[in-house]
A = this chain, B = another copy of it.
Amino acid sequence: MESMPDTAPELLLAPHWLVTVDSADRVLVDHVLAVRAGRIADILPRGEAAQRYPNAPLRELPGHALMPGLINAHTHAAMTLLRGMADDLPLMQWLQEHIWPAEGRWVDEQFVQDGVDLALAEMLRGGTTCFQDMYFFPETTAARAAGAGMRVVAGMLLLDFPTPYADGPDQYLEKGLALHDQFRGHPLVTTTFAPHAPYTVSDGPLEQIRIYADELDVGVHMHVHETEGECRAAVESNGERPLARLHRLGLLAPTFLAVHMTAVTDDEIALVGRTGANVIHCPEANLKLASGFCPVQRLLDAGVNVALGTDGAASNNDLDLFGEMRTAALLAKGVTGDAAAVPAATALRMATIHGARALGLEDEIGSLEVGKAADLVAVDLTHADTQPVHDVTSQLVYATGCHRVRSVWVAGCELVRDGHLTGLDEADITARTANWRDRIAAAR
């Protein structure tokens, strides 16, 4: 961008509300956002835009809010093919009797490709512009997302045991590093290590991951303390709670992303705050699997950066961050007994700038500020179900669904326009999905 400061913007967007999610949570009315070379080139009063950029095309978005693209900080995109396959079951029964057997039977590169395409369609259509993934064949996930123009943080998966993707820790690591190399410098793809969970990854590989993460300057993304049962089992088997173990291994740091964290003591909250580790809250999956309640407000009070994830669609059952923001805001109030807990503006920050910070992308995305990538979502608030608008932030969190998203840009490219995907072929994607459904159903 620096090389062409005087070039005219390619696009001026004129929404009713510009919901910046900047450090002051400013909401600007009668302002225009200028996009140039995939970045936010300017934000200026509407009256000045015509003067300053007389030749740039102006896109009117009357009655719309323009906000930063939503960031899904934890999902398993390919699992969308298993949406609704097993419900109303506790975590371990759900995993051991349904999900793991289905994965063992069906997961291969083709499954991941088709499942990720389905997830991309849903996420983009719903205003999500960036997601962090943890699953088998992450190089396929990264390639599909990048091909669709979506921003992705691909998890370099690691488990102690063999799967159709890798035969053991060394091969997981090797494939992860190859993925990292393959996408190094890619404008849309970054990576994190993704050791699955404390109960599926032993100390040796975690130590290796810590060393590589430091060397490559990437984050480490892991399910941690998803249930109190996980903590109890860890204490029984090795005398240590998982978070203490991860701390002993040197993992807790601003580059660490702990997903779930429903079972945490006061001391553990303080530890997370002190080390600068991030928490990724997945309220709907936690509720659905009855995993416990993540103490979000207490974590925030301790200075912890809390981001939001949908988790996989097999345990959610959608990839809708509007719903997740709303559930996060509502649930925090119920759990604390304090209706002021996690107000709307905080929920919106969790789904945007907090996500960016957790993923190490704070300088690039997560807010509407000049110089950042033009990852944008235009939400139509003119319909009966989002009227009246007394407070636009409240409306976005408490009353708007993903279905009111009209346009979505990633790095300045309009991937959803007037509610329709511009690049992905939804009919082809749903046909491939139906084919998987039939194959899976026939074998059950």
Contact = CB atoms under 8 A, between A and B. Distances in A.
Given A339-B94, A395-B84, A290 B122 contact: no
Q: How large is the interface on A (under 10, 10 to 19, 20 to 34, 35 or more residues)?
A: 35 or more
A282 to B, nearest CB: 12
B340 A286 contact: no
Contacts of A94: 339
Given A385-B126, A403-B401, A337 B290 contact: yes
Given A284-B330, A334-B290, A388-B437, A313 B401 contact: no
A91 B339 CA distance: 8
Interface in A381-428: 382-385, 387-391, 394-395, 398-399, 401-403, 426
A41 interface: no
A383 B124 CA distance: 13
B390 A437 contact: yes
Q: Max chain B CB contacts within 10 Å: which of A293, A323, A334?
A: A334
Interface string A92-113: 0110000000000000000000
A84 B391 contact: yes
A101 to B, nearest CB: 14
A221 to B, nearest CB: 24
By secondary structure, the A interface counts as helix
* Copies per complex of this chain: 2
Contact of A334 (B286, B398, B402): B286
A136 to B, nearest CB: 19
A390 B339 CA distance: 37
A436 B387 CA distance: 10
B317 A429 contact: no
A125 interface: yes
Contacts of A83: 387-388, 390, 395, 399
Contact of A440 (B118, B316, B382, B390): B390
A216 interface: no
Nearest to A87: B394
Nearest to A345: B88
A385 B122 contact: yes
A84 B389 contact: yes
B290 A333 contact: yes
A433 interface: yes
A319 B429 CA distance: 32
Given A331-B287, A390-B83, A88 B344 contact: yes
B401 A333 contact: no
Most buried by B among A83, A316, A389: A83
A318 interface: yes
A264 B121 CA distance: 44
Q: Considering residues A93, A390, A401, which has the most beta carbons from chain B within 10 angstroms of its beta carbon?
A: A390
B290 A382 contact: no
Contacts of A87: 343-344, 391, 394, 398
A442 interface: no
B288 A387 contact: no
A289 interface: yes
Contact of A441 (B331, B390, B433): B390
B430 A382 contact: yes
Interface in A322-355: 323, 327, 329-331, 333-334, 336-341, 343-344
Contact of A288 (B88, B313, B333): B333
Given A87-B398, A125-B384, 4 more contacts: A82-B390, A88-B329, A284-B330, A290-B339
The 8 A-B pairs with the shortest beta carbon distances in the complex, nearest first, are A403-B403, A388-B437, A121-B384, A287-B330, A88-B343, A290-B339, A317-B398, A84-B394
30 contacts: A83-B388, A83-B399, A84-B390, A84-B398, A85-B390, A87-B391, A88-B339, A88-B340, A90-B339, A90-B340, A91-B339, A93-B339, A94-B339, A118-B387, A121-B385, A122-B384, A126-B385, A288-B330, A288-B339, A290-B334, A290-B338, A290-B341, A292-B334, A317-B399, A331-B331, A384-B426, A385-B402, A388-B434, A401-B401, A401-B403
